[in-house]
């Protein structure tokens, strides 16, 4: 595939999402390494606008599992919630007698989302380098208002992504990505690929098995994109309230 | 600092942003590895909603440098623009006779931003593992409407972050992050730190030198946060138009 290999590249190239974990604890040293990896992530303008809430309380874990609708959430392993956090910097400015400045603007919200998401990916890579597995939980966005309540989050914070981390108890296959020519361009954006240009990739996707020990084939890529995942009437029930929660939390008041 | 080390963790722990590059080309094999790392990144719901535009055209590189206001942008090394891309999936649905579904909703926009940003971080880590240096360019957001024009971007795409990649020609010091207790919490969000609780960290920041060969000290963290970076009247000129461009590109119509 690629001519260059090293330990780090190989971890990245072989990333697989893990959705089943052993009942083996993530060790305190592993957790420390994960937090350190998150914190050393690049941060826009040195604003450091994210926080992590580690969820150990079983009631809260069950509540979050319910929101996500996935039985592995808050089951075995650690559940970390990555929070866009402009609250800390607002509090600093207010204590120093200042206003909150541009923290309520869309561009600062986007910066916070970027800081937070970059940190999630570094945490994933760090976990995999230690033999742990992860699944990023966009599903916490199914009910952001409830997530805010569960974690007692103040204004100018938003729970963005969860991360379940643990010792893998499954070996999924590498999931084939779109051919590079449809994703990497030079200087200008080309015409979108046609269905027939995507046919060979569709073929690859349908012959890939999600788990080696299963006989379940998956739908072709174009069929997935055309289907329920994106259908207007299939929105997870509170996903349409995301914009409202973002605004209620004090973000992007100029949007 | 941390008890666990391996090659990958050490790359992540020692990340430094590089803003000066040697006039040495990134090789085709290195580029292939970077693209592959980006593509193997976790992607929400397998939607694969980002693209990369590699900018090699000198005129376009100069235009982007002007937008960013940073002389290293599009100078030595590669300039990659990471684009939130829901256009490809919209085109698939339309070719199959369907509507664009929820692609114009805020939650799908956020998913695209997350996919794109996760891929940026994997590309950074991949680059550093090969001895290359990077700087993430949030500064392309200084004029997103112009970025859309330069790259001829269609609806449902948004240039989110740039990445300048090259052979490092400087050795900055590790930038000290906030103490972990102010960033990592358990079960609930605590009170924001007070200025006096932050004083030791402020001291660390002021005694850190950005570049080993410079005598330039930097401002304390709380002073930076209280200052021009976030001031209402100091917004880079077109940053306040970000919300408008996002909507014009067809995203987040429900926001």
pLDDT value at A63 more than 90 = yes
CA distance B196 to chain A (A): 10
Q: Which residue has the tokens 């929660």?
A: A245
Q: Are A121 and B115 in contact (CB under 8 A)?
A: no
Give the residue among B117, B16, B2 at the shortest CA–CA distance from A36: B2
Mean pLDDT for chain B overall: 94
Instruction: Give the SS3 label for residue B147.
Output: helix
**Partner-chain contact B230 A35, CB within 8 Å:** no
pLDDT tens figures, A165-201: 999 999 998 999 999 999 999 999 999 999 999 999 9
Q: What is the ipTM of this complex?
A: 0.97
pLDDT tens figures, A103-123: 999 999 999 999 999 999 999
Q: What is the Cα–Cα distance from B127 to B26, expressed in whole angstroms?
A: 10
Please tell me which residue of chain B has the smallest CA distance to A97. B226
**Partner-chain contact A151 B187, CB within 8 Å:** yes
Instruction: Write the DSSP symbol of residue A29.
Output: H
Rounded mean pLDDT, B161-180: 96
Which candidate from B103, B121, B130 shows the least CB-CB separation from A122?
A: B121
Most B CBs within 10 A among A46, A145, A151, A157, hence the mutation to make, goes to A46
**Partner-chain contact A184 B54, CB within 8 Å:** yes
pLDDT value at A225 more than 80 = yes
pLDDT value at A235 more than 90 = no
**Partner-chain contact B121 A185, CB within 8 Å:** no
Q: What are A185's strand-pairing partners?
A: B53
Residue B183 pLDDT grade (very low, low, confident, very high; cuts 50, 70, 90): very high
The predicted structure's pLDDT at residue B140: 97
Q: How many CB pairs under 8 A join A and B?
A: 357
**Partner-chain contact A225 B89, CB within 8 Å:** yes
Rounded mean pLDDT, A222-241: 86
Kindly write down the DSSP assignment for every residue of B17-51, as one continuous string: ----B-S-PPPHHHHHHHHHHHHTS--GGG---EE
Q: What is the Cα–Cα distance from B136 to A221, expressed in whole angstroms?
A: 31
Q: What is the Cα–Cα distance from A107 to B186, expressed in whole angstroms?
A: 29
Please tell me which residue of chain A has the smallest CA distance to B119. A121
Q: Which residues contact B204 (CB under 8 A, 6 or more apart)?
A: B176
Helices (H) and strands (E) in chain A, counts: 9, 5
Helix A28-39 and helix A106-129, axial crossing angle in degrees, nearest 10: 140
Tokens standing for A128? 């995999």
Tokens standing for A25? 């604890």
Residue B218 pLDDT grade (very low, low, confident, very high; cuts 50, 70, 90): confident
pLDDT tens figures, B221-255: 999 999 999 998 876 667 888 999 999 999 999 98
Which candidate from A3, A114, A195 shows the least CB-CB separation from B29?
A: A3
Q: Are B146 and B63 in contact (CB under 8 A)?
A: yes
pLDDT tens figures, B94-124: 999 999 999 999 999 999 999 999 999 999 9
Most B CBs within 10 A among A7, A9, A78, hence the mutation to make, goes to A9
pTM assigned to the model: 0.97
Q: What are A157's strand-pairing partners?
A: A85
Rounded mean pLDDT, A54-63: 98
Q: What is the Cα–Cα distance from B247 to B238, expressed in whole angstroms?
A: 15
Q: Are B101 and A232 in contact (CB under 8 A)?
A: yes
Report helix, strand and coil shares of chain A as percent, to nearest 5: 45, 15, 40
Exposure string for A106-116, b = 16+ CB within 10 A, e = fewer = bbbbbbbbbbb
Q: Are A234 and A247 in contact (CB under 8 A)?
A: no
pLDDT value at B2 more than 70 = yes
Most A CBs within 10 A among B7, B32, B39, B161, hence the mutation to make, goes to B39
Which candidate from B4, B39, B255 shows the least CB-CB separation from A243?
A: B255
pLDDT value at B213 more than 60 = no
Tokens standing for A102? 């541009």
Q: What is the Cα–Cα distance from A8 to B250, expressed in whole angstroms?
A: 37
Most A CBs within 10 A among B16, B40, B62, B113, hence the mutation to make, goes to B40
Rounded mean pLDDT, B64-84: 97
Query: Which is more confidently placed, B31 or A212?
Result: B31
Mean pLDDT for chain A overall: 94
The predicted structure's pLDDT at residue B208: 81
Which candidate from A8, A117, A130 shows the least CB-CB separation from B114?
A: A117
Rounded mean pLDDT, B200-224: 81
Chain B residues in contact with A161 by the CB 8 A cut-off are 114
Rounded mean pLDDT, B185-211: 92
Which candidate from A48, A96, A230 shows the least CB-CB separation from B102?
A: A230
pLDDT value at A28 more than 70 = yes
The predicted structure's pLDDT at residue B71: 97
Q: Which residue has the tokens 């449809």?
A: A182
The predicted structure's pLDDT at residue B233: 80
pLDDT value at A215 more than 70 = no
């Amino acid at each position: 595939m690629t001519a260059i290999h090293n330990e780090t590249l190989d971890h990245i190239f072989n990333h697989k999402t893990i959705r089943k974990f052993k009942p083996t604890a993530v060790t305190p040293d592993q957790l420390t390494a994960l937090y350190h990896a998150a914190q050393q992530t690049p941060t826009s303008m040195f604003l450091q606008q994210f926080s992590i809430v580690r969820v150990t309380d079983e009631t809260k874990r069950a509540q979050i599992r319910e929101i996500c609708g996935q039985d592995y959430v808050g089951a075995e392993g650690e559940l970390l919630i990555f929070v866009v956090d402009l609250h800390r910097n607002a509090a600093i400015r207010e204590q120093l007698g200042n206003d909150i400045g541009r923290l309520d603007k869309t561009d600062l919200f986007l910066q916070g989302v970027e800081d937070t998401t970059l940190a999630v990916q570094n945490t994933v890579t760090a976990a995999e380098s230690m033999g742990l597995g992860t699944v990023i939980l966009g599903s916490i966005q199914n009910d952001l208002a409830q997530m805010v309540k569960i974690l007692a989050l103040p204004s100018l914070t938003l729970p963005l992504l969860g991360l379940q981390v643990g010792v893998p108890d499954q070996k999924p296959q590498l999931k084939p990505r779109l051919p590079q020519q449809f994703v990497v361009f030079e200087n200008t954006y080309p015409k979108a690929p046609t269905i027939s240009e995507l046919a060979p990739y569709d073929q690859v996707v349908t012959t890939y098995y999600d788990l080696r020990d299963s006989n379940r084939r998956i739908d072709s890529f174009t069929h997935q994109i055309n289907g329920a995942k994106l259908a207007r009437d299939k929105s997870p029930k509170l996903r349409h309230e995301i914009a409202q929660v973002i605004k209620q939390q004090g973000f992007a008041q100029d949007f």
